[in-house]
Structure 1
């Protein structure tokens, strides 16, 4: 426990307001996590131009991007999507939690999730939702953070090998 708190002190979580200065590093992160098997909407091999295009278009109204930095490098990201519908002003979605393979098991994912939740609360949101591939390690993280499994959708996303995997829908009341 003592080692984790020392490590956590070196992790800085910040809100990314301008993407331009980070596109190359974010694209490298995206390519790395996709190559490592993450199910975040992309399949390997992911080319740099597709990764760059994704990041250049990620900051839309209602999207907040958080960066985790360690040793002055981007070690992870998460997005908070604030629902823009009239009937959804109370909810937000967690999207694309990524931790660079070189920085895993250091509490980065947890810190990013906590920052996203804290921001959602400050913005008056009372419900968080997310989905993740069944069986991925992230399921354990979400459960440990108090997210409740709301359902399972079979054959939701295609994996690199062509297999169709289920996704698990999670939710958490935060107020």
Structure 2
């Protein structure tokens, strides 16, 4: 069974190599999550060190999924460092599930844990974006997220192909 838990800044920093491996696997598997192939040496680790610093600073909450052996197999962030006029809102960022753990409910469980935390923090509006028509978009729609709209050629896939992005929101 996969365990979902929130990491503090020190825990996130200690697990940078595992977080980087999940990111690397997702990008190499074709996920458009802000990184291009080939991944520059050390780029995933640098990204996660920055995330860990954001967790330590109270700018975001980082959730991870661990498999039965304790290996990290998924991650998701709740970004709360937003402008003063948006104290009720948070962004959902970097839903990543290692290919070995997909289709086992990991993404749904990560998202549910994040939503509980958002409610605890008094957040009432969550926003995220994902590749239009992706498995992730189907998951969000199944879980009650509302489609706000699509932006054509918004980003690139890791291989350089343009892709459209769909924005979703959820009112808690």
**TM-score, L = length of structure 2:** 0.92
Unaligned runs of 5+ in 1: 1-9
Cross-structure match for 1:141: 139
Cross-structure match for 1:6: none
Query: 1:160, 1:84 → 2: CA distance?
Result: 28
Cross-structure match for 1:11: 2
Query: 1:90, 1:81 → 2: CA distance?
Result: 12
Cross-structure match for 2:101: 103
Query: 1:84, 1:165 → 2: CA distance?
Result: 26
8 Å Cα contact 1:31/1:48 also seen in 2: no
Query: 2:13, 2:161 → 1: CA distance?
Result: 35
Post-superposition shift, 1:132? 0.3
Query: 2:158, 2:17 → 1: CA distance?
Result: 24
Cross-structure match for 1:154: 152
Unaligned runs of 5+ in 2: none
Post-superposition shift, 1:83? 4.2
- Residues 9-158 of structure 1 mapped to structure 2, 5 A cutoff: 10-17=1-8, 18=10, 19-59=12-52, 60=54, 61-70=58-67, 71-158=69-156
More contact order relative to length (CA 8 Å, sep ≥ 6): 2
Q: Which runs of 4+ in 1 moved over 6 A?
A: none
Query: 1:118, 1:48 → 2: CA distance?
Result: 36
SS of the residue 2:151 aligns to: strand
